[in-house]
Chains A and B, each alone.
Chain A
Amino acid sequence: KAGVTQTPRYLIKTRGQQVTLSCSPISGHRSVSWYQQTPGQGLQFLFEYFSETQRNKGNFPGRFSGRQFSNSRSEMNVSTLELGDSALYLCASSLDTSGVISGELFFGEGSRLTVL
């Protein structure tokens, strides 16, 4: 069974640009959540999608957005990039059958974004 796949693995952007990251969950998983990991702040929750609907959102500015497609694949977008957006962006999927995130989270390898 294939794991969580994130693309691209590495990317370099300049300030002011925008970026789109993609996440393909484990087959059958309907919940996808996104996280930002930096040395200073650690892992921080961005948002979570279930059945194409955003169910929860962390404390990030509106420049961070996401969506989920009918096949459960998800994308996140960061607009007007800032130097502080440089981070490892991780997504996780979960077999969520009860309407809340109560299942085990499985993570991808992440997309490492560098903003120059």
Chain B
Amino acid sequence: KQEVTQIPAALSVPEGENLVLNCSFTDSAIYNLQWFRQDPGKGLTSLLLIQSSQREQTSGRLNASLDKSSGRSTLYIAASQPGDSATYLCAVDDDKIIFGKGTRLHILP
């Protein structure tokens, strides 16, 4: 049974710092992995999608990596801003979409 874990559960960092969010999964037979952000009371916004054959994807200040063999993905956020404060979720697709519990990120002005 696929399990997705995100560590840490919460993180506070000063504005301007670079940071890394972690996502691990137990079964490497996935089609893809996707990172989302969720603002309070809102739906999810897609950030990056990494197909199983890819190693990383980049969008602006965001970079996501995928290592299927070790069951890990990281989301790197460069030069963090207060507007980056949100909950970040990763999800793997192995016929069913399995989400981690998320990392609540707070960027301190």
The chain A residues found within 8 Å of chain B, CB to CB, are 4, 6, 33, 35, 42-45, 48, 56, 58, 90, 92, 100-110, 112
Contact = CB atoms under 8 A, between A and B. Distances in A.
Interface in B18-71: 31-32, 34, 36, 41-46, 49, 51
B89 interface: yes
Nearest to A3: B43
Interface in B71-98: 89, 91, 93, 95-98
B72 to A, nearest CB: 19
A42 B102 CA distance: 8
Contacts of A58: 96
Contacts of A6: 43
Interface of B: 31-32, 34, 36, 41-46, 49, 51, 89, 91, 93, 95-102
Nearest to B51: A102
B43 A56 contact: no
Contacts of B31: 100-102
Given A100-B95, A101-B95, A107 B45 contact: yes
Contacts, number: 58
A56 B46 contact: no
B85 to A, nearest CB: 19
B43 A102 contact: no
B95 A105 contact: no
Given A42-B102, A43-B89, A104 B46 contact: yes
A45 B42 contact: no
Given A100-B31, A101-B31, A102-B31, A108 B96 contact: no
B101 A110 contact: no
A83 B51 CA distance: 38
